[in-house]
C-alpha cells in the first residue's frame, strides 16, 4: 500500500484562536499534516513554543522589535526566522507549501493571502476581512491562478458542506444563522451602557477579542454577508440572516425547488477548520458529538436592524460596492479597538462606521493600492470620530 503524502500547511496567525485550534488538528493528524510556516504579530513566546513543538521550515514574527528574541530562541533549531509583513508575503510563496490557512485578524491579513493566491497556494480562509475588503480582487486572482478558497468561518463552511454534490444546482438563497451575541433582545438604551467585560463574554463561542466584539454588535454577521456573497457568487437579495441562539444549525441553503439543506453540530471551530484542511475528505475526529436530548428546542428569531444597525450597514456597503466595504471594515476595526481600550461606547461602534461610510472617498473600481489608501484614510477619519465620541 502506498503511504499517503502529507499536506504541507502554512498557518498565518498561529498564535490566535483559529491558529491554535488548527495546531490541535495537526497534532491529532501527524500522518496527514506537516506545518511549514507559522506566524504571529507580537506573541513571540507562544510562537517560539509552537515552533519547537511543530518544527516548521520557517516562522515569521510581524513585530520587528521581537525578531532577535525569536531568532535567538530558535538558534539551535533548524528553523528559519523572518520578520515583517513583506517577509510574510514572500514566505507564503515557498514551493513546499500546499495550503495556507489565513487566520490573521483584520485587514492585516489581506496582503499575505493575496501573495499566497498569486503563488497558486490553496487557501483555507478564516480571515473574512480579506473578502470583505477586496472580494473582487481576491476572487479574480483565485480564478486566474486556479486556486480554491475553502471557507473556515462556520457559517460558510456549513453552506459549503450543504453544497457538496449540488454545485451544478442554482442557489435560491442562503440563510446565515447568528447566535445574536450576548445582548440579544436588549434595547438601544441598554446597549449604551455596555462595557467591554460583558461584550467579551460570548454565549456560545470562544474566539479572539475583535470577532467577539463584532459578534456582540452583529457586525460579524454583516461581514459574513459580504464574505458569503463573494464565496458563493450571490446577490444581496439571496442572503438572509436568522437569529438562532443555540448555534447548532450553522447555516442553510435553499435551492430552486424550495428544498432547504442545513449543517448541524456543536459550536466548535475545529470542525470547519478540519473540513477546510482536508476537503473533500472527512477525517475521523474525537470532537464532542451533538445530542438531540440536550437541545430539546432549536429556536429562531428575526434580527433587529434598528437596535443592531451593523447588518444593514453591511448590506448597504455591499450593494454600493467599490471600496465601501473596505471603508466599513477599516472604520469597524478602529472603533472596536477604541472600544476595547474604553475610549468609546458600544453604540459608538456602528455610529462611527456609518459616519465613515458617509464621509469616506468613494472609488467604484479600486485597485490594491486604492484599497490600501482607502484603509489608511478611513483609519484616520475613524480615529477622529473616536476622539469626539460621535454618538455620546
Ligand atoms: P485572534 O485575535 O485570536 O488571533 C489573530 C492572529 O493574527 C494572532 O496570531 C495574531 O498574532 C495575528 N495578528 C494580529 N495582528 C496581526 C498583524 N497586524 N499582522 C500579522 N498578524 C497579526 O483572532 P481569531 O483567531 O479569533 O480570528 C482570526 C480570523 O479568523 C479573523 O479574521 C476572524 O474574523 C476569523 N474567524 C475567527 C473565528 C474564531 O472562532 N476565532 C471564527 C470565524 C472566523 P499575535 O497573537 O502575536 O497578536
Ligand atoms: Mg462565523
The answer to whether the peptide bond before residue 280 is cis (omega within 30 degrees of 0) is yes
Q: Is residue 350 part of a domain?
A: no
Q: Is residue 247 part of a domain?
A: no
Q: Determine the distance separating the centroid of ligand 1 and the alpha carbon of 208, expressed in angstroms.
A: 6
Instruction: Starting from the CA of residue 128, give the closest ligand.
Output: 1
On the question of pLDDT at 222 being above 90, the answer is yes
For position 268, what pLDDT does the model report? 97
Q: Which residues surround ligand 2, an ion (CB under 5 A)?
A: 153-155
Q: Is residue 261 part of a domain?
A: no
Q: Is residue 235 part of a domain?
A: no
Q: Determine the distance separating the centroid of ligand 2 and the alpha carbon of 137, expressed in angstroms.
A: 22
Q: Is residue 50 part of a domain?
A: yes
Q: What residues does 260 pair with on adjacent strands? A: 254
CA Rg value for the chain: 20
Contact status, residue 29 vs residue 283, Cβ threshold 8 Å? yes
List the grid coordinates of 315. Answer: 448590506
Contact status, residue 349 vs residue 331, Cβ threshold 8 Å? no
Nearest 5°: phi and psi at 199?
Answer: -65, -25
Q: What is the DSSP annotation of 282-310?
A: -----PPPP-GGG-S----B---TTTSTH
User: Cα 360 from chain centroid?
Assistant: 24
For position 4, what pLDDT does the model report? 56
Closest ligand 1 atom, residue 44 Cα: 47
Rounded to 5°, the CA angle 13-209-322 comes to 75
Q: How far apart are CA 120 and CA 153, in angstroms?
A: 22
For position 3, what pLDDT does the model report? 53
User: Residue of the nearest CA to atom 21 in ligand 1?
Assistant: 41
What is the total count of domains within the chain? 1
Q: Is residue 109 part of a domain?
A: yes
Instruction: State mean pLDDT over 241-260.
Output: 98
Q: Mean pLDDT, the chain, as a whole number?
A: 97
Q: What is the DSSP annotation of 324-356?
A: HHHHHHHHHHHHHHHHHTTSS-TTHHHHHHHHH
Instruction: Starting from the CA of residue 44, give the closest ligand.
Output: 1
Residue 311: closest CA among 350, 282, 344, 346: 350
User: Residue of the nearest CA to atom 4 in ligand 1?
Assistant: 16
Q: How far apart are CA 212 and CA 173, in angstroms?
A: 27
Contact status, residue 330 vs residue 360, Cβ threshold 8 Å? no
Q: How far apart are CA 37 and CA 264, in angstroms?
A: 32
Rounded to 5°, the CA angle 197-201-203 comes to 160
Residue in the structure block whose three cell numbers are 433582545: 185
Owning domain of residue 12: 7-151
On the question of pLDDT at 235 being above 70, the answer is yes
Q: Is residue 331 part of a domain?
A: no
Q: Determine the distance separating the centroid of ligand 2 and the alpha carbon of 244, expressed in angstroms.
A: 13
Q: What is the CATH number of the domain that holds 80?
A: 3.40.50.720
Q: How far is CA 384 from CA 258, 331, 338, in A?
A: 48, 11, 11
Closest ligand 1 atom, residue 20 Cα: 25
Closest ligand 1 atom, residue 104 Cα: 7
Contact status, residue 159 vs residue 261, Cβ threshold 8 Å? no
Q: Determine the distance separating the centroid of ligand 1 and the alpha carbon of 105, expressed in angstroms.
A: 4
CB neighbours (10 Å) of residue 76? Answer: 8
Contact status, residue 39 vs residue 61, Cβ threshold 8 Å? yes
User: Residue of the nearest CA to atom 32 in ligand 1?
Assistant: 127
Best probe residue, ligand 1, of 15, 18, 92, 178 (max atoms within 8 Å of C-beta): 18
Q: Determine the distance separating the centroid of ligand 2 and the alpha carbon of 80, expressed in angstroms.
A: 33
Contact status, residue 233 vs residue 131, Cβ threshold 8 Å? no
Closest ligand 1 atom, residue 43 Cα: 47
The per-residue b/e assignment along 169-198, b for 16 or more CB within 10 angstroms, e otherwise, is eebeebbbbbbbbbbbebeeeebeebebee
On the question of pLDDT at 391 being above 60, the answer is no
Summarize pLDDT for 136-188 with one digit per residue, the tens: 999 999 999 999 999 999 999 999 999 999 999 999 999 999 999 999 999 99
Instruction: Starting from the CA of residue 268, give the closest ligand.
Output: 1
On the question of pLDDT at 264 being above 80, the answer is yes
User: Residue of the nearest CA to atom 20 in ligand 1?
Assistant: 41
Closest ligand 1 atom, residue 130 Cα: 32
Q: Determine the distance separating the centroid of ligand 1 and the alpha carbon of 41, expressed in angstroms.
A: 10
Best probe residue, ligand 1, of 13, 50, 273 (max atoms within 8 Å of C-beta): 13
User: Residue of the nearest CA to atom 39 in ligand 1?
Assistant: 207
User: Residue of the nearest CA to atom 41 in ligand 1?
Assistant: 207
Instruction: Starting from the CA of residue 126, give the closest ligand.
Output: 1
Instruction: State mean pLDDT over 330-341.
Output: 98
Summarize pLDDT for 83-105 with one digit per residue, the tens: 999 999 999 999 999 999 999 99
Q: Is residue 51 part of a domain?
A: yes
Contact status, residue 198 vs residue 189, Cβ threshold 8 Å? no
Q: Determine the distance separating the centroid of ligand 2 and the alpha carbon of 37, expressed in angstroms.
A: 25
Contact status, residue 61 vs residue 40, Cβ threshold 8 Å? yes
Q: How far apart are CA 46 and CA 310, in angstroms?
A: 34
Q: Determine the distance separating the centroid of ligand 1 and the alpha carbon of 188, expressed in angstroms.
A: 29
For position 250, what pLDDT does the model report? 98
Q: What residues does 242 pair with on adjacent strands? A: 177
**Residues with beta carbon inside 6 Å of ligand 1?**
13-19, 40-43, 62, 103-105, 108, 126-129, 153, 205, 207-208, 210-211, 269
For position 392, what pLDDT does the model report? 43
Q: Determine the distance separating the centroid of ligand 2 and the alpha carbon of 178, expressed in angstroms.
A: 8
Amino acid at each position: 500500500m502506498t503511504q499517503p503524502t502529507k499536506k504541507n500547511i502554512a498557518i498565518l496567525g498561529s498564535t490566535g484562536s483559529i491558529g491554535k485550534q488548527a495546531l490541535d488538528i495537526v497534532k491529532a493528524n501527524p500522518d496527514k499534516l506537516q506545518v511549514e510556516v507559522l506566524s504571529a504579530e507580537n506573541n513571540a513566546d507562544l510562537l517560539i513554543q509552537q515552533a519547537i513543538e511543530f518544527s516548521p521550515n520557517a516562522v515569521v514574527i510581524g513585530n520587528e522589535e521581537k525578531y532577535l528574541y525569536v531568532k535567538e530562541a530558535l538558534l539551535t533549531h533548524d528553523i528559519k526566522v523572518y520578520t515583517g509583513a513583506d517577509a510574510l508575503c514572500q514566505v507564503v510563496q515557498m514551493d513546499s507549501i500546499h495550503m495556507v490557512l489565513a487566520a490573521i485578524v483584520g485587514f492585516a491579513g489581506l496582503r499575505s493571502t493575496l501573495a499566497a493566491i498569486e503563488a497558486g497556494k490553496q487557501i483555507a480562509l478564516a480571515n473574512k476581512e480579506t473578502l470583505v475588503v477586496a472580494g473582487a480582487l481576491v476572487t479574480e486572482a483565485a480564478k486566474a491562478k486556479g486556486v480554491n478558497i475553502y471557507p473556515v468561518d462556520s457559517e460558510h463552511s456549513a453552506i459549503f458542506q450543504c453544497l457538496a454534490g449540488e454545485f451544478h444546482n442554482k442557489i435560491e438563497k442562503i440563510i446565515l444563522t447568528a447566535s445574536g451575541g450576548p445582548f440579544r433582545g436588549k434595547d438601544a438604551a441598554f446597549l449604551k451602557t455596555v462595557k467591554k467585560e460583558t461584550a467579551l463574554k460570548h454565549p456560545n463561542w470562544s474566539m479572539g477579542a475583535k470577532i467577539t466584539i463584532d459578534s456582540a454588535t452583529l457586525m460579524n454577521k454583516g461581514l459574513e454577508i459580504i464574505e458569503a456573497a463573494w464565496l458563493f457568487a450571490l446577490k444581496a437579495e439571496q442572503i438572509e440572516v436568522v437569529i438562532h441562539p443555540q448555534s447548532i444549525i450553522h447555516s442553510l441553503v435553499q435551492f430552486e425547488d424550495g428544498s432547504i439543506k442545513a449543517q448541524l453540530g456543536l459550536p466548535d471551530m475545529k470542525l470547519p477548520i478540519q473540513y477546510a484542511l482536508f476537503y473533500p475528505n472527512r477525517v475521523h475526529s474525537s470532537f464532542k458529538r451533538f445530542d438531540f436530548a440536550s437541545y430539546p428546542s432549536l429556536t429562531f428569531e428575526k434580527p433587529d436592524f434598528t437596535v443592531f444597525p451593523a447588518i444593514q450597514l453591511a448590506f448597504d456597503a455591499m450593494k454600493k460596492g467599490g471600496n465601501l466595504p473596505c471603508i466599513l471594515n477599516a472604520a469597524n476595526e478602529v472603533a472596536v479597538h477604541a472600544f476595547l481600550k474604553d475610549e468609546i461606547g458600544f453604540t459608538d461602534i456602528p455610529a462611527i462606521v456609518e459616519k465613515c461610510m458617509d464621509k469616506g472617498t468613494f472609488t467604484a473600481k479600486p485597485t490594491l493600492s486604492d484599497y490600501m489608501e482607502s484603509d489608511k484614510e478611513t483609519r484616520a477619519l475613524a480615529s477622529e470620530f473616536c476622539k469626539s465620541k460621535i454618538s455620546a
